[in-house]
Chain A
Amino acid sequence: MNGKTALYIVKRLILAAVTVWIVITITFFVMRAVPGGPFMGERAISAAAQAQLEAKYGLDKPLLTQYFTYLKDIFLHFDFGPSLKQRGRDVIGIIADGMRTSVKLGVIAAFISLGVGVVLGSVAALRRNKFIDRVIMVITTAFVSMPSFIMGSLLLVLFALKLGWVPANGTTAAGMILPIITLALYPMAYITRLTRSSMLDVLGQDYIRTARAKGVSKWKIIFGHALKNSLIPVITYFGPMLAYIVTGSLVVEKIFAVPGIGRAFVNSITGRDYPLIMGTTIILATLIVIMNLVSDILYKLVDPRITFD
């Protein structure tokens, strides 16, 4: 890593911090502008009880004061506060519980999709217009265009209900197989197509022809020259995809009853659980910003022509 790269990373990190701060600020004020509140339910509590609870959680103070208190708490003490709905639980604990599951599912699904996608894409490119290429293209087109709620439901009915091979409930290890497959299918198909077209592009380049003419072996050409360069678009895609996939998919979590972060996020908004909304938003935003950064750095590592100017 040279000085330029280091400077670039520092610049990007500062930019990332600013981005997260903007996200915090916007979320904080927009969330409070939305009608309804955490202590409102089908059964109304008395005004006195409401005031009591607001005072307990500091919601009675002016909004700006609350905002600065919040910033101070998270930046100085890493304190995300208590949940207003799940009384007795801390936001950080709820997020940790959800992330544990989502990250496990997401990382496994992401790497499966990367591994399988690159292999299938390369095979398709090398066997261009042959039978195997056609088959791979038809299948991936189907996976790319099928929404996850349909794919998930199909898998659930087939493997959990009709065949009974795996449980329908995503809380057990065996129960995680279907959600992982559901999560992995779309990016896998996408990576396959990406690898194929990029590989085809690379295979037609002059330097490949030169290598062939010089008598370099076929496998050396593929692994030593073609594959590496054709992975550049895959890497650009992989970073944000990983961030997206580990931050939880509400649809998949619902279909398979997976206790992930996506559901916690949505429920926090429905319940106006302010600290939990903030906590999940911050964590998710940070993750996405960081993954984008990592992906940009990887990009440079693979393709030396790219500079950070």
Chain B
Amino acid sequence: MKKFLALLLAGVMAFSLAACGGSGSGGSSSGGTDETGGAAPAADVAEPGTINVCIASEPDTIDPALNSAVDGATLLIHMFSGLAKWAQDPSGALEIVPDCAEELVEGVENEDGTVTYTYTLREGLTWSDGEPLTAGDFVFAWNRAAGPELAADYGYMFEIVDGYAEMWETDDSGENFVNPDAVLNVEAPDDRTIVVTIENAVPYWNELLAFPTYFPVREDVVANEAWATDPSTYVCNGAYTMASWDHNSLITLEKNESYYDAANVTMDTINFYLSDDSNNMLTNYENGDWQFIDDIPTNEMARVQEQYPDEYVVGGQMGTYYVIWNTATDILPANSGLTGAEAEHAREEIRNAISLLFDRNYIVEEIGQAGQVPASSFVALGLLDANGIDQFYENAGHNDGFVGYYDTSEEAMQSNFDAAIETLSQYYTYDEASGQFTDFPMTLTYLYNTSEGHQAIGEYLQAALAGVGINMQLENQEWATFLNTRKEGNYDIARNGWLGDYNDPISFLDMWTTNSGNNDAQFGRGDHASVQAYSMDLTPYGYDINVENGTWAETYDVLISTIKSCTDNDTRYELMHIAEDLLMQTGCICPLYYYTDPYMINSSVQGFFASPLGYKYFMYCTIA
């Protein structure tokens, strides 16, 4: 037993020494995947043909059809090439240009209003394993991404393609498909020709062609369900190939010399580090190991802006942070005596008045601190209007002297507040002396998903309402529970946010139809289904539709389907403005700010750009 003890002690010592040696010597135990980030402490030591970036943590998937995340899309645009792509012209402006297609042709309108496009692929395109890329690969990939078998999050990106509706047609139970053999109306008459027919002309069609869900994949490659999880089976056709993937650590892309445009790709190697901690990202950025990070800790925001004014960039993002009311939340005084449409109009007035109590400038400057823009409409900053130049939100609302549905300027705060008090005084008793409403009928519960930022905003909203005597308590839930609660409509008022899928306002508007899975406000459901409070007149636009006091289904749902089948661009945008008017009239949507995408990029990096959807392009970067 004596020996046992001595042995144990000796063993312990030996172990710790070995351990120290192993970890300190930069040994081979890490798998040797990192050539540049390991010992090289600063950017000036990194090789010029290599860039180290961090956009997010491990992507759930990098299968083009399955991905629905912005960080996954950034990886995909480097490794895949669709018919079209985003590019930067010499002036720095972004445009959609042909990629695999020789040119982005004009569509030919058919008699039934559908539009057919015939694309020709460039000559000699190949996959990263040397196999030729054919038109049939696109046909296969599109049907795979759109169809029920894969049931991908972004399958609906093919909604505009003829045949999609048949694919997804179900019986009355809503769970059994009527046409199991249906396919999209897209064909490959030969190896270089793709003929696709869409339901009606839409201005964002070319943008869809540049969207990752529309990228090609090869049938024999994806037959292996795990193909997109391992570099050895990841066959792609873009500017880069995946050299290695250390799960949760690092994805390394190497330039694909067989890419048709390889001559213009300047960055040889891109290391995508995978991290979900913004503090860790910032440390890696500040010590020079990484040249780009896409997330900055909120509490460091002010310091970073001051310390790195040239490297801190506020990119655009098409999204809105807003507060949502459940239509079922009854905030009318018990003795109001109002019913039906009158009651609904009263609720609308109250909700819209409460929305005016919030100081959006305070929220973005003191809480958000990332260059967010106070919002006065739901369709976000960045989405363009009919002419492709004006911002849609600048033409929203019908008020003079300000943009949107209410004035968000600091000067207007007092008049907004006064107007809100005046409106609310019609319904509740206002005590002038204390400046409080004394009989607001309920204590509201504000639901948000657990996060410091959302909590800070919730606390501000709570304080703003408490200032006028309206009690609101805060309730936070973990993300998945929160999503469930909100979708089920088990809340009074909740935090919400929406990012557009493509640069068309319809991506913000079609989510509010009665049966949409994203209709968290529960429009047209429950008691709201029978509320006849909405009117619209589409006769000036050539439609025989004029509804006075209709239900949500009779107005908004009809309007959205009209927009979706509308082929005249100007009319379509007019109709979308009407849809947003209807939406904002309800007061259920209370926009707070338009999202921005702050990131940091080392000043030695040239040639970087980001698409309007927030995808980051590193392929044309050089490091000075």
Contacts and interface: CB of A to CB of B under 8 A. Distances in A.
A and B pair up: yes
B558 to A, nearest CB: 20
B248 A40 contact: no
Interface stretch (A48-56, A66-74, A286-294): A48-56
A35 B491 CA distance: 14
User: In the complex, which range does the number of interface residues on chain A fall in?
Assistant: 35 or more
Contacts of B30: 171-173, 176
A34 B481 contact: yes
A48 B517 CA distance: 11
Contact of B289 (A36, A90, A167, A176): A167
B250 A171 contact: yes
Nearest to B286: A161
Contacts of A52: 148-149, 151
Contact of A112 (B20, B28, B275): B20
B106 interface: no
A261 B618 CA distance: 31
A181 B127 CA distance: 46
A285 to B, nearest CB: 22
A223 B480 contact: no
Contact of B148 (A48, A161, A173): A48
B23 A108 contact: yes
Interface stretch (A17-25, A113-121, A128-136, A201-209): A113-121
A193 interface: no
Q: Nearest 3 A-B pairs (CB), nearest first?
A: A44-B517, A36-B480, A259-B248
A36 B484 contact: yes
Interface string B585-598: 00000000000000
B29 A173 contact: yes
A174 interface: yes
B447 to A, nearest CB: 13
A45 B153 contact: yes
Contact of A271 (B174, B286, B480): B480
Interface of A: 34-37, 40-53, 56, 85-90, 94, 97-98, 104, 107-108, 111-112, 114-116, 118, 153, 156-157, 160-161, 164, 167-169, 171-177, 180, 223-224, 227-228, 231, 254-257, 259, 263-264, 270-272, 301-302, 304
Contacts of A116: 16
Contacts of B225: 87-88
A231 B229 contact: no
B13 A172 contact: no
Interface string B484-514: 1101000000000100000000000000000
Nearest to B38: A172
B5 interface: yes
Interface string B12-29: 110110011011111111
A40 to B, nearest CB: 5
A173 B27 contact: yes
Given A228-B1, A256-B280, A48 B168 contact: yes
Contacts of A304: 1
29 contacts: A36-B484, A37-B480, A46-B156, A49-B151, A51-B174, A86-B58, A88-B226, A88-B227, A94-B247, A107-B19, A108-B23, A161-B286, A164-B288, A167-B284, A167-B289, A168-B289, A169-B37, A171-B249, A172-B26, A173-B23, A174-B38, A176-B23, A254-B280, A257-B273, A257-B274, A263-B276, A270-B478, A270-B479, A302-B4
A175 B9 CA distance: 29
A223 B175 contact: no
A40 B520 CA distance: 13
Contact of B247 (A35, A97, A160, A256): A97
B421 to A, nearest CB: 35
A115 B15 contact: yes
B246 interface: yes
Q: B19, B27, B61, B228 — which one has the most chain A CB atoms within 10 A of its CB? A: B19
B60 interface: yes
B303 interface: no
A263 B277 CA distance: 11
A87 B66 contact: yes
B606 interface: no
Nearest to A35: B484
Interface string B214-238: 0000000000011111000000000
Given A52-B151, A89-B226, A168 B177 contact: no
B279 interface: yes
B60 A87 contact: yes
B561 interface: no
Contacts of A114: 12, 15-16
B170 interface: yes
Given A43-B153, A44-B518, A114-B12, A89 B289 contact: no
Contacts of B177: 48
Q: A87, A88, A153 — which one has the most chain B CB atoms within 10 A of its CB? A: A88
A43 to B, nearest CB: 6
B199 interface: no
